[in-house]
Structure 1
Amino acid sequence: MLTVPVRLLGDTDAAEVRRLLDAAPYAGAQVAERVTSGRMAWWRHEARIFGYGRRLGSLCWVGANVVPVLASQPAAGAFAELVAGEPRGCSSIVGTADAVLEMWTRLAPTWGPAREVRGCQPLLVADCPAPGVRPDPDVRLVRSDEVHALYPASVAMYTEEVGVAPAADGDPSYYDRVLDLVRARRAYARFSNGRVVFKAEVAVVTRHTAQIQGVWTDPEFRGRGIATAGMAAVVDDVLRRIAPTVSLYVNDFNEPARQVYARCGFRQVDTFATVLF
């Protein structure tokens, strides 16, 4: 039996949730975008949001992903205890490293084994154009009639990054996700003879930040500075058009990517971890 104050949050908790998410503008961005309308009922999102503390101090999104936000060790333990008795329905647990790893310590006996645990992923933020880096003028928003060219690059990126293909044969969900990003003017690419050689997407937008995911350079074109100039172009456009900051998280072992982000003016503000199933 739970002996700590954990409760399912609903529409009446929206103001408190927004207060909490404003205190975690980068680490809580994934959840903040989903509840930006102020409507919190689980059936609106096909997910549940749980809060910890009589005065809300932590929360946890439980849906296709599990995302703890501002979760202290007791809160992370309480969230893990809450969901441990349920069949695992998520593809990952992602968030600040302390909270995710605390949850996984408690969930591993029933939810394990994980396909991979990435315990150190620097969370980076940039709030101004990169000094001394010339943005690539050929990086631009992808048009709807170019999705057929972007999709294979997106599949290649996902498979390289996550270790599995993004969708089973015949499942259109990942293609639809790519198309949605293009239609929302969130997908950037550089093309060469109709082929994507660099790409990046804005996966999350809040009033505080735009979170970048899916950064990828064609292996044939790596080592030429394309990623640095391409990211500089993305950062410039996002800061001008979408949000006051740009954020992302990166695997600590991906040294080439970390060097690109450092050149583009990103600084570390926190550390994420991801448990992949």
Structure 2
Amino acid sequence: MQNDDLIIRSARPEDEREFAALERATWTPLADVSPQPTEDKAVFDERHTPEQYLLAVLDGRIVGYVRQVPATPLASNRHVRQIQGLAVDGTVRGRGIGRRLVEAACDAARAEGARKISLRVLGWNAPARRLYEACGFVVEGSLAEEFLIDGSYVDDVWMARTLHG
């Protein structure tokens, strides 16, 4: 389904409150290794700045986000970007918004000169893995039982997509 009214834009400092509410609403142990965000937890800080995020806005409401950053601070790794967070409001899932966000992150990475974009996804997160595969990502490796979440050991799956050629 096409979202003609969907806008993908960079986050701004004034998005903090609405963005934080979306992050709390979309948190799930299926996708997150960090504890559930509290009401007073800020989204933006010195390591998570607005310019790292693209937001999906539908009918004036933030309904999704993706964070895309350099994979490491090393000059030798400057050509690689990494997706470090993706979420879509449950009320609008299934409408292609996640795919649009991933593609926007890839376009932004390519515009910054990146040749590759990578990400990490929990092994049990089948919906996210299907989305990334549909966007051209392939599994490059896996760390078995890397996380202990709710009493279960979960693999950390590394995926990537080339951006050149």
Give the TM-score of the pair, scaled to structure 1: 0.43
Which whole-Å deviations, capped at 9, do the CAs of 1:87-114 have from their partners, x for residues lacking one?
xxxxxxxxxxxxxxxxxxxxxxxxxxxx
Question: How far is 1:200 from its partner?
Answer: 1.0
Find out whether 1:188 has 2:54 as its counterpart: yes
Offset of 1:243 from its aligned partner?
3.0
The residue number in structure 2 matching 1:234 is 105
Which secondary structure state, in structure 2, belongs to the residue aligned with residue 138 of structure 1? strand
CA contact (8 A) 1:139 1:234 kept: no
1:139 aligns with 2:5: no
Letter in 1 for 2:125: N
Q: Which residue of 1 aligns with 2:93?
A: 222
Alignment partners' CA distance in 2, 1:157 and 1:189: 14
Q: Does 1:166 align with 2:32?
A: no
- RMSD over aligned Cα atoms: 2.7
CA contact (8 A) 1:137 1:233 kept: no
The question of whether the paired residues in 2 share the 8 Å contact of 1:202 and 1:210 is answered with yes
Unaligned segments of structure 2, at least 5 residues: 73-77, 150-165
User: Aligned residue pairs: how many?
Assistant: 136
Q: CA deviation at 1:158?
A: 3.5
Distance 1:203 1:154, change over 3 A: farther
Change (3 A) 1:263 1:238: same
Q: Distance in 2 between matches of 1:232 and 1:248?
A: 13
Q: Give how far 1:209 is off.
A: 1.8
Report deviation, 1:208. Answer: 4.0
1:146 shift after superposition: 1.3
1:155-186 Cα deviation digits (max 9, x unpaired): 2334453374234x65xxx41x5344334x10
Contact kept, 8 Å, 1:205 with 1:243, in 2: the verdict is no
| 8 Å Cα contact 1:157-1:215 kept in structure 2 | no
- Choose from 15, 18, 22 the match for 1:149: 18
Conserved? CA contact 2:80–2:117, under 8 Å: yes
Kindly provide the amino acid, as one letter, of the partner of residue 191 in structure 1. Answer: V
**Residues of 2 paired with 1:276 and 1:253: CA distance?**
12
Matched-pair identity in %: 27
Pair 1:212 & 2:80 matched: no
The structure with the largest helix share of the pair is 1
Provide the rounded CA distance (Å) in 2 between the counterparts of 1:199 and 1:226: 9
Distance 2:137 2:81 in 1: 13
Q: Which has the higher contact order (CA 8 A, sep 6+)?
A: 1
Larger deviation, residues 201-210 vs 137-146:
201-210
* Distance in 2 of aligned mates of 1:194 and 1:224: 17
Question: Could you tell me which amino acid in structure 2 is paired with residue 244 of structure 1?
Answer: R
* Bigger strand fraction: 2
Per the alignment, residue 67 of structure 2 pairs with 201
C-alpha distance in 1 between matches for 2:128 and 2:109: 19
**Unmatched segments (≥5 aa) in structure 1:** 1-135
For 1:158 and 1:242, the matched residues in 2 are separated by 31
How far the C-alpha of 1:221 sits from its partner, in A, is 0.8
Amino acid across the alignment from 2:98: A
